[in-house]
Amino acid sequence: MADIELVIKIDEEDYNIMKHNIAVNNPLCPLSQEEMVSKVANGTPLPKGHGRLIDADKLEYTCNSDECGMLTGCNHCQYHIITEDEIDNAPTIIDADKESDN
């Protein structure tokens, strides 16, 4: 059976309790089984073969024109671009899915 990568939304405090419990080899979970199943079932599956996921909102724009003259910064300029270098060096949130041939 194939694996699925899933993004779920969970309360930060519940997550921290679960991480702590795993670290001390304690299987107790602050969520009921029904709550946990609901969170997983309502998660967002990532598509097979997806690329490296980054936070695109944190990328910095660069001006691509000598004609710009904007004083408010490149995010408000009609000539703004994001360079390939900026994308390549952005921190990875989730690594690319290396889809297997199984």
Cα 49 from chain centroid (whole Å): 15
The pLDDT value given to residue 45: 94
pLDDT in tens, 44-95: 999 999 999 999 988 887 776 666 665 555 656 666 788 899 999 999 999 9
Q: Each residue of 46-60: b (16+ CB within 10 Å) or e? A: eeeeeeebbeeeeee
The pLDDT value given to residue 29: 81
pLDDT band at 102 (very low <50, low <70, confident <90, very high): very low
Residue 26 has pLDDT above 70, yes or no: yes
- pTM score of the predicted model: 0.63
